[in-house]
Amino acid sequence: MERFHVAIIMDGNGRWALGRGLPRVAGHRAGAAAVRRVVEAAPDLGIKTLTLYAFSEDNWTRPAREVTALMKLLGRYLVEETDRCLKNGVRLEAIGRRDRLPAPLVALLEDAERKTAHCRRLHLRLALDYSARRAILDTALRLGNLATEETFTEALGPDVDLLIRTSGEQRLSDFLLWECAYAEMVFTPRMWPMFTGEDLAEAVDAFHRRDRRFGRIASESDARRTA
């Protein structure tokens, strides 16, 4: 089976928490546990690259307390998970801007990236202070005359095969706009803190049932079925 790229917009932490009378930060904490579950489940489902939308450029507009709590959670995740990633063959990498992230978090990221650089079982990319439009613009400016589909893809990362968004919302929110050109999309009402390895397996199953045509006509068998 060809290994593929899954990207997830992890949405619904705040609503999940508020619905239980908890502070929003409790939702992010439960969301971090969901991250652990999907990272554990992903390699055996054939996923080669998993990109998680952990913090967008727009998320800086949230109340300072929530932003600080998210940064702390991300730091704690790296402290607690880097060794496990190493043991499980998970290469960890951050995409997005680094110059506005807290310096201790950047140091943890760089340490995790260095330690896990050789791991090949799963490529886990955390999108932090990320904006797809910015990534595309920066790449275009950097490549200049050398810009082609191939050099863009090389600079930005692999095409997304399956995009999942939780919490019932159905939009891309400036996530991997170039890479999602031919992505299959699965939207689930499940709030991110409730998302499990089984939910991921279900989304992957749905993906495998899709007929990906990339602009071509339907396969012969499909054509006969719909004739």
Q: 63 vs 215, which CB is nearer to ligand FPP?
A: 63
Q: What tokens appear for 212 in the block?
A: 């990906």
Count Cβ atoms below 10 Å from residue 84 Cβ, excluding itself. Answer: 12
C-alpha angle 85/91/95, rounded to 5°?
120
16, 193 in Cβ contact below 8 A? Answer: yes
Ramachandran region, residue 171 (left: φ > 0; alpha: ψ -120 to 50; beta: rest): beta
Select from 45, 52, 108, 163 the one that contacts ligand FPP (CB under 6 A).
Answer: 52
| Residue 25 engages ligand FPP in binding (rule: CB under 6 A) | no
CB of 192 to ligand FPP, least distance (A): 6
Active site residue 145: no
CB of 210 to ligand FPP, least distance (A): 26
Site string for ligand FPP, 102-131 (x = CB under 6 A): ------------------------x-----
List all residues 6 or more positions away from 19 whose beta carbon is below 8 Å from its beta carbon: none
Q: Given CA atoms 121, 46, 194, 64 in this order, what sign does their dihedral have?
A: positive
Please name every residue paired with 125 in a beta bridge, in sequence order, or none if there are none. Answer: 51, 93
> Binding residues for ligand FPP, how many (CB under 6 A)?
20
Q: 126 vs 176, which CB is nearer to ligand FPP?
A: 126
Which range, of 72-80, 100-108, 114-122, 176-184, touches ligand FPP by CB under 6 A?
72-80
Active site residue 174: no
How many angstroms separate the CA atoms of 119 and 17, rounded?
35
| Residue 28 engages ligand FPP in binding (rule: CB under 6 A) | yes
Q: Which residues bind ligand FPP (CB under 6 A)?
A: 10-15, 28, 31-32, 35, 52, 54, 59, 70, 73-74, 77, 126, 167, 192
Give the residue numbers annotated as catalytic, written as ranges.
11, 59
